[in-house]
Chain A
Amino acid sequence: MPRPRIAMTPAETAEFLASKRIAIVATLDADGAPDGEPAELSCAGGVLTFRLPASGPTHRNLLRDPRVVCTVEEFPSYTEIRGVSVHGRAAPVELRSGHATFRVDEPRTESFDFRKVRPEP
């Protein structure tokens, strides 16, 4: 998401993240190959957390390599796509009822909002 001219402002990014319940969480496996899984997202007070099944690959991957990116996106139509990716390090918060919760530390955010410019496809 490199195009700064269509990036969201910090306030827009925070509002967008707070409005979303699901993120795709991407990690690396033991061989360094990428993997991904949907997770329940929660964003409060500028702290991003996510919760996913403890039996899945993401939980296992993050305990070994905390590098993570959480991506949320909205696609009502091609000219209105918006997305935010938060890169950081995942810190385990809780393991409960078969689900693991992680917090995203050292967050770095990328965003785009196609509504800010009508892109060429």
Chain B
Amino acid sequence: MTYVAGVIPPAAEEFLHGHTRTFLVTVRPDGAPTCHPMVGMYHGGALYMTTYRKSAKVRNLAREPRVACVVVTADDAPRFGGVVLRGRAELLPPGATMPWSTRGAAPTARVPGADADLGRAVAAKLAEGKRVVVRVVPEEVRLVGEHA
């Protein structure tokens, strides 16, 4: 099932609130697709990720902002499933942090192995501009695999 134009179906939103395992698909300079494992946090209708400002994926999406994000369960989950978001990636300005760090409720999904130290280290790298926030507002949403 594919949903287009701004309305994210409740089943997809519920899934995104509970899962962070994300594969970001970008286009390489030679035009071929490439795929990067990421942590994606869903908040206010958009998916947020952070990465190094000088990384290949940032160069890729600055050149070609169209991306796909495949958010999935663990491979061995009782029901393997996921949500595919397609849309345009935006880089937030250098120094910008995740939107919920200054206002609003933080996403509820847990990141494996993440603790307060890791959170502070990422926040410091964002403040220095070494890392940047990538925001993807979905234009197309699909459910894949098994869903309850």
Contact = CB atoms under 8 A, between A and B. Distances in A.
B33 A2 contact: no
B41 to A, nearest CB: 14
A78 B117 CA distance: 12
B75 A34 contact: no
Contact of A34 (B27, B56, B82, B112): B27
Given A71-B23, A77-B113, A26 B80 contact: no
Contacts of A71: 23, 35-37
Interface residues of B, number: 35
Interface in B42-92: 56, 66-70, 72, 75, 80, 82, 84, 86
Interface stretch (A5-13, A43-51, A79-87, A94-102): A79-87
A24 B133 CA distance: 23
A27 B67 CA distance: 11
B112 A36 contact: no
Interface in B14-33: 21, 23, 25-27, 31-33
Given A34-B33, A69-B33, A80 B113 contact: yes
A69 to B, nearest CB: 5
B111 interface: yes
A18 to B, nearest CB: 14
A78 B72 contact: no
Nearest to A89: B32
Contacts, number: 101
6 contacts: A37-B84, A38-B72, A56-B144, A77-B112, A87-B34, A121-B118
Contact of B68 (A26, A75, A87, A121): A26
A110 to B, nearest CB: 9
B5 interface: no
A73 B31 CA distance: 23
B145 interface: yes
The 7 A-B pairs of least Cβ separation, nearest first, read A77-B113, A34-B25, A73-B37, A71-B35, A33-B66, A36-B70, A26-B25
Contacts of B118: 78, 121
